[in-house]
Structures are given as C-alpha cells and as structure tokens.
Amino acid sequence: MASGDNPALFSPYKLGNFNLSHRVVLAPMTRCRALNSVPNDALSEYYRQRATAGGFLITEGTMISPTSAG
C-alpha cells in the first residue's frame, strides 16, 4: 500500500504520552520465541526487525496455560 492510498494511516498520532509517526500498530501475536518464558536474543531480533521510528509495537500475548504454547 502506498502512503498516498490512505494518508490518515501514515499521519502522526498522539496516543496518551506517546507521539507516533504513523497509525500502524503491530498487535501481540504470541510467537512463543521466549524459551522457558524468558526473553532471549531471537525474540529481541524479531521485534527489532519490525520496529520503526515513532511506531508502536505490543509485544507477546499471555498463555492461558502451559500447554497452550504447543
């Protein structure tokens, strides 16, 4: 999608104390990349690759039980 297709989506937005440079948000997807429930380098790299300046990422959902991770 080009930024001209939806200018509001790529315009700045103030969310509480956060000044976002656009309105695209990465929602938590529970990737299960934290071995033994401890964040590691792979998890850090996963979010580093998706981060943008002035963007908003919500990291990892919460498992409802130990067996829900697969």
The pTM for the full model equals 0.66
The model's confidence at residue 22, banded by pLDDT at 50, 70 and 90, is very high
Question: In this predicted model, which residue has the larger pLDDT, 4 or 8?
Answer: 8
User: Strand (E) positions, 1-70?
Assistant: 13-15, 18-20, 25-26, 56-57
Structural contact between residues 22 and 12, judged by C-beta atoms closer than 8 angstroms: yes
- Span 42-53, mean pLDDT? 90
* pLDDT at 5 (0 to 100): 79
